[in-house]
Amino acid sequence: MSEFVEGFDTLERLPPAVTVFGSARTPESDPMYVAAREMGKALAEAGLTVVTGGGPGIMEAANRGAYEVGGRSVGMNIALPMEQAPNPYQTDELTFEYFFVRKVMLVKYARAFIIFPGGFGTLDEFFEAMTLMQTLKIRPFPLILFGSHFWDEPVRWMREQLCNRFRMISEPDLTLFHLVDGIGQAMDLVQRAIEGAYDTALPGVIGTAARETGEGTRRGVHPRRGVVPPIGAAGPWAAGKSPRHFDAD
């Protein structure tokens, strides 16, 4: 509980935030490190808070870019059995023992995610955000996959296997993220989100179901009181439906 309180107190007073993800193993000489550093700089110059996991690699690069131009640079560090040293480019530093609390903070105040190449942790954050949006549990915001040379194959696998072959997801699910290779492309999407002009194919949520909880997710519909999608539906777009959720209250 204390980690939630500290996180809320720190982050709610900062300018709108964009969370940057990516590998802790990316060296300074890597083009993706250079791009993440430039990304952090561009975000800070636009008056946005740059948030990362606080570690080395891509996280360091994004924090560094913001820090070097005098921006707000937040690191959400995690206590691990194998020590991960915090990078030195943080104006605001938080340390968590619990991954689930940290993940709430990474999502709650984010106006966009920019996701550079990374490993299990990066993929975990990407798919969690996709799940929260697909299930209408959070308001949609840009999920920006930076670096087509890395993301092309995972995206192809999602399209060919998850969507077309096994039908585990629907075609509109694949519109919930954006594949980019340039800082300008990413910033255009971020700016649209900040201006309230970002839109997706997701159905709207109205009434008390749309009210936000303390962690930043929507209240939704109680499964034994409200209207729920038909059994077997792959998503809100199954059978061409676009359901709007209402709270039974």
Look-up of token digits 């990474």: 106
Helix 99-108 vs helix 2-11: crossing angle, to nearest 10: 20
Query: Pick from 173, 194, 215: which residue ends a domain?
Result: 194
Could you list the pLDDT tens digit for every one of the 249 residues in the chain?
999 999 999 999 999 999 999 999 999 999 999 999 999 999 999 999 999 999 999 999 999 999 999 999 999 999 988 867 899 999 999 999 999 999 999 999 999 999 999 999 999 999 999 999 999 999 999 999 999 999 999 999 999 999 999 999 999 999 999 999 999 999 999 999 999 999 888 888 888 888 898 889 998 887 777 654 544 444 444 444 444 444 434
Q: What is residue 24's predicted lDDT score, i.e. its pLDDT? A: 96
Q: What is residue 247's predicted lDDT score, i.e. its pLDDT? A: 44
Considering the domain architecture, whether residues 86 and 179 belong to the same structural domain is answered as yes
Residue 249: domain span: 204-249
Contacts of 131 (CB under 8 A, 6+ apart): 137
Q: What is residue 31's predicted lDDT score, i.e. its pLDDT? A: 98
Considering the domain architecture, whether residues 125 and 6 belong to the same structural domain is answered as yes
Look-up of token digits 């131009």: 69
Cα separation, 101 vs 215, whole angstroms? 9
DSSP string for residues in 165-189:
IS-SS-GGGGGSEEEE-SHHHHHHH
Q: What is residue 221's predicted lDDT score, i.e. its pLDDT? A: 85
Residue of 145, 140, 130 whose CA lies nearest to 182: 145
Considering the domain architecture, whether residues 40 and 73 belong to the same structural domain is answered as yes
Q: What is residue 227's predicted lDDT score, i.e. its pLDDT? A: 56
Considering the domain architecture, whether residues 155 and 50 belong to the same structural domain is answered as yes
Cβ atoms 245, 205 nearer than 8 A: yes
Q: Would you say residue 75 lies in a domain?
A: yes
Any idea what the CATH number is for the domain that residue 82 is in?
Answer: 3.40.50.450
DSSP 8-state code for residue 235 = S
Considering the domain architecture, whether residues 87 and 161 belong to the same structural domain is answered as yes
Q: Would you say residue 227 lies in a domain?
A: yes
Considering the domain architecture, whether residues 172 and 232 belong to the same structural domain is answered as no
Q: Would you say residue 199 lies in a domain?
A: no
Cα separation, 83 vs 124, whole angstroms? 20
Q: Is 211 exposed, middle or buried (0-12, 13-18, 19+ CB in 10 A)?
A: exposed
Contacts of 240 (CB under 8 A, 6+ apart): none
Cα separation, 165 vs 157, whole angstroms? 10
What total number of domains does the chain contain? 2
pTM beyond 0.75: the answer is yes
